[in-house]
């Protein structure tokens, strides 16, 4: 089996792995100024997308330029989430017909400009070639047999098992074999503990090669129950003292998790930004969330903001909780709410996810000021950060990999992939951390690398 890492190796973002020059796993983008995309745009026979986050699905429509029409395989929520993100990307670039106010195909972001990675026509083509599948449903893609398993990251997120060849079901290649029947287990992003929104990853299918994420390979998360207790107490205290809490949250997954937390603890809240649309969409896919009835109650508990007639500024003056995009303060309604509450020390900004270096959210945590809507602003309101991560930590990663001690482990999607691979090697694993642009060929227990 041959794997070419076009992105996501030794970095977090733009995940893309080409299998046997035929099957593409993910095709994402790395947000930044400017954003980065996979180092090549291949012409695969088929595409499999693990889940609907920008770093895994953000560049998928660009695979459909010209005469290329590879089928795209994903779960139903991932399809809808990827299309939502693609249309939002078009809107940000002012592409005509996408609902934007301008006609420019360039987006200005923190002093820079970049081209839109795809066209409205290419987004439309996604709907024509899309093929959806449920968990544990095996299908054919580019001459490979593929099966999705719940990854416990966000609704619809999937581990991807890829089998080349046509051996009987349940068989497994043995070390040293070269029979064209290698099984690849692509973990993508996963979590091994339950969240309120989705259940933990538990599937561990047989595999000969594992491509494993390593986002939090040097971190042990605080127990989710304790994080939630501190978060809820902080919200209640601020509102009781007469303040307003802005909760920046990623639209996909994190917004819904925050709404579930608020509903479970009887905290009234508003919800704004793309998270509103995603919340409504996920209600249509109850099979891909942990508790569909709880999500219904959480949606009913939250008041959806329209943004009309100065509504946001009026809400910012209330003693309330506002869950809104963007999670890293790089855009969205947060650009109204945070400036509106920033001057009052009783108010609070409660960040709920990882803040990438160079983003306004990271700047706010480190310096107490941030560039918001084009202006650098000091923030006197309290700023807190809560580790509501949807990724496995070091213990979770090792618990999964303990099921694959006889497999070859390729470490990706992290800031310290090589260090984690070294840690695994010291513990007896056969492992390496490929670099972006590198090709790894696996034959039995033999690895060959091409730069």
DSSP secondary structure of 373-398? TTEEEE--SEEEE-----S-BHHHHH
Write down the pLDDT at residue 171.
42
Cα 157 to Cα 8, 75, 353: the distances in Å are 17, 8, 18
Helix spans in 270-416 (H): 274-282, 292-301, 311-316, 334-341, 360-367, 394-401
CA 30/CA 9 separation, integer angstroms:
12
Three-state secondary-structure class, residue 33? coil
CA 340/CA 248 separation, integer angstroms:
14
Q: pTM of the prediction?
A: 0.91
Pairing status of strand 46-48 against strand 23-25 = parallel
Evaluate the omega torsion of the peptide bond into residue 34 and state whether it is cis, within 30 degrees of 0.
yes
Pick the closest to residue 259 from 315, 326, 304, 212 (CA basis). 304
DSSP secondary structure of 41-72? ----SEEE---SSHHHHTTGGGGGSTT----E
Strand partners for 19: 3, 23
Pairing status of strand 209-213 against strand 183-188 = parallel
Write down the pLDDT at residue 174.
41
- Residue by residue, pLDDT tens for the chain (451 residues) are 999 999 999 999 899 999 999 999 999 998 776 789 999 999 999 999 999 999 999 999 999 999 999 999 999 999 999 999 999 989 877 665 554 433 333 333 333 445 788 999 999 999 999 999 999 999 999 999 999 999 999 999 999 999 986 544 444 444 334 456 899 999 999 999 999 999 999 999 999 999 999 999 999 999 999 999 999 999 999 999 999 999 999 999 999 999 999 999 999 999 999 999 999 999 999 999 999 999 999 999 999 999 888 999 999 999 999 999 999 998 999 999 999 999 999 999 999 998 888 889 999 999 999 999 889 999 999 999 999 999 999 999 999 999 999 999 999 999 999 999 999 999 999 999 999 999 999 988 788 888 7
């Amino acid at each position: 089996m041959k794997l070419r890492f076009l992105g996501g190796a030794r970095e977090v973002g733009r995940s893309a792995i080409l299998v046997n020059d035929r099957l593409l796993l993910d095709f994402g983008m790395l947000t930044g100024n400017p954003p980065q995309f996979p180092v090549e745009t291949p012409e695969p026979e088929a595409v499999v997308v693990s889940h609907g986050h920008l770093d895994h699905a953000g560049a998928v429509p660009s695979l459909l330029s010209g005469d290329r029409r590879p089928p795209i395989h994903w779960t139903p929520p991932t399809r809808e989430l990827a299309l939502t993100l693609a249309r939002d990307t078009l809107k940000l670039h002012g592409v005509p017909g996408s609902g934007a106010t301008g006609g420019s195909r360039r987006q200005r972001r923190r002093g820079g400009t970049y081209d839109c990675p795809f066209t409205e026509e290419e987004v439309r083509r996604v709907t024509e070639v899309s093929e959806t599948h449920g968990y544990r449903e095996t299908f054919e893609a580019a001459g490979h047999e593929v099966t999705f398993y719940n990854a416990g990251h966000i609704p619809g997120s999937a581990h991807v098992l890829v089998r080349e060849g046509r051996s009987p079901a349940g068989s497994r290649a043995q070390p040293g074999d070269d029979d064209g029947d290698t099984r690849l287990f692509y973990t993508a992003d996963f979590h091994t503990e339950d969240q309120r929104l989705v259940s933990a990853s538990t599937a561990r299918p047989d595999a000969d090669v594992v491509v494993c994420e390593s986002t939090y390979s040097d971190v042990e998360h605080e127990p989710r129950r304790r994080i939630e207790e501190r978060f809820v107490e902080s919200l209640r205290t601020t509102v009781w003292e007469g303040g307003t809490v802005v909760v920046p949250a990623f639209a996909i997954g994190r917004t819904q998790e925050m709404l579930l937390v608020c509903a479970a603890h009887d905290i009234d809240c508003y919800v704004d930004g793309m998270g509103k649309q995603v919340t409504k969409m996920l209600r249509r896919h109850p099979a891909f969330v942990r508790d569909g009835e709880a999500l219904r109650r959480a949606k009913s508990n939250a008041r959806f903001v329209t943004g009309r007639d100065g509504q946001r500024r009026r809400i910012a003056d209330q003693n309330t909780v506002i869950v809104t995009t963007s999670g890293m303060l790089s855009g969205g309604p947060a650009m109204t709410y945070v400036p509106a509450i920033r001057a009052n020390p009783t108010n609070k900004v409660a960040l709920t996810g990882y803040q990438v270096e160079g983003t306004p959210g990271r700047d706010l945590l480190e310096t107490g000021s941030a560039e918001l809507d084009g202006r650098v602003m000091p923030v006197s309101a309290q700023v807190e950060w809560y580790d509501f991560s949807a990724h496995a930590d070091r213990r979770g990663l090792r618990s999964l990999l303990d099921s694959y001690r006889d497999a070859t482990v390729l470490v990706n999607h992290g800031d310290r992939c090589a260090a984690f691979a070294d840690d695994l090697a010291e513990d007896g694993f056969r492992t390496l951390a490929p670099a972006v642009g590198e090709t790894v060929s696996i034959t039995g227990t033999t690895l060959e690398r091409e730069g």
